[in-house]
A and B are shown apart, each in its own frame.
Chain A
């Protein structure tokens, strides 16, 4: 059985991990991690630095490959994906990073438009959707500027816009407020809540306890690569 994009379909849970492990040479980043994420859930993954939060997030969008166990994303067993199917899987995700990962030589508009360009969206539709999402995150007036002239909060709003513009099923955020002041952090969280209301499944990796306490939702705690 295959899903709408032709990827092999095996399960109807949003994300499910079975005894997942990840080794980097001799170092074991994740050990025997099993968890389930339901559709339209707003989940936090927390734990101290080096606990394996970022690695787990990367495993979901195949930024890294699990060395043990199995991960099912949107019914697709990731271990069965061929190389050419990986980009299609990644288009199901919007990813937000602590260091924003914006392309400095491209304008705000172009950074956000990239998601739609890779999906071969028509130019007129790209324009419409990018401006709509930039309006939504409150940064449309800076569409023609380059990332280096933006503040940290503005950069992260661009990153959130980029994560949302493709209307992905999942939004993964790795320490999204880690380098922001409390006001900007609040804005980012509100934007993610908005995406959640629109139907996206949100997974946030953070060690910011205030952020977790300010929001109700399941929390997975990692300690030394294991679920605590």
Chain B
């Protein structure tokens, strides 16, 4: 039975080669777009998590801070909710670090009569303290401490990125649903066209005593095969695009603690299985409407 099913399905694919090719290309395009979204979503989540784990808030102090003030401000920052540790960064250390950072151009700083940098406090946040709004509130609390002039953290960047991320989360789900419906529709139409071109053959099969399984199974197999091929091609192209673009990013752009990764294997398997199931479903709807024995 399996031998007949495979033989007939493969013969069908061969006889309607161009129809199947168009269907596979469309499925692979849909899979490519969806998996590109998944790639962005997975990496965005990783990136945000990685940043949040290493999140810092820098508080710049007023000029001429006394040792007493330093201890007070440090204690006050430490007492705030979400702060794991606080380090005092004297302006001299900051100036040395700046010189080291700019390297060969550090000679430009030699002309300065005095150090323009202020003293600073570097507050490291606890790992559980991950909400952007809470980090914003904490920064405001630090800014309100007497002796603190300004507060800096990656608020703007994070807020914008978080906004895009949330937008992708919502639109991604809508897109997934839309693309899956589109794939079902495409496969259903392809199979319907094949069924229509083979209606006489199906009628003859019925007359000679073919049961529903004998008639339907090759079409289901075709649906699964269309989904499988489309998924493999779509994911293959995404991998090629990933390999072509990701090595061109310098690590500094994305922070030293983060590396863009391809979609993990379990997600890839899930993509292939979903694509096959959608191919099967498209086939099922078509057969249900067309074949009534």
Interface residues of A (CB under 8 A from B): 61, 63, 83-84, 86-91, 93, 95, 101-103, 105-106, 114-115, 117-120, 123, 162, 166
Contact = CB atoms under 8 A, between A and B. Distances in A.
B212 interface: yes
What's the dominant secondary structure at chain B's contact region?
Answer: helix
A114 B11 CA distance: 14
Given A90-B208, A114-B208, A114-B210, 6 more contacts: A87-B210, A87-B211, A93-B209, A117-B4, A123-B3, A166-B208
Contact of A86 (B201, B203, B293): B293
Interface in B137-153: none
Given A103-B200, A117-B4, A120-B1, A84 B211 contact: yes
B254 interface: no
Nearest to B3: A123
Contacts of A119: 209
B1 to A, nearest CB: 6
Nearest to A114: B208
10 contacts: A87-B293, A90-B209, A91-B208, A91-B209, A93-B209, A95-B208, A103-B200, A114-B204, A114-B208, A117-B4
Given A83-B293, A103-B200, A118 B208 contact: yes
A95 B4 contact: no
A71 to B, nearest CB: 17
Nearest to A119: B209
A115 B209 CA distance: 7
A106 B214 CA distance: 17
Contacts of A103: 200-201, 204
B206 interface: yes
Contacts of B115: none
Contacts of B211: 84, 87, 118
A86 B214 CA distance: 14
Interface string B265-277: 0000000000000
7 smallest A-B Cβ distances: which pairs? A91-B209, A90-B209, A118-B210, A87-B211, A87-B209, A115-B208, A103-B201
Given A101-B204, A103-B204, A118-B214, A88 B209 contact: yes
Contacts of A93: 209
B15 interface: yes
Interface in B27-78: none
A212 to B, nearest CB: 25
Interface in B205-233: 205-212, 214
Contacts of A114: 204-205, 208, 210
A163 to B, nearest CB: 9
A162 B208 CA distance: 9
B203 to A, nearest CB: 8
B53 to A, nearest CB: 61
A41 B206 CA distance: 25
Contact of A63 (B15, B207, B210): B207
A192 B293 CA distance: 29
B105 to A, nearest CB: 77
Nearest to B204: A101
Most buried by A among B3, B204, B207: B207
Contacts of A87: 206, 209-211, 293
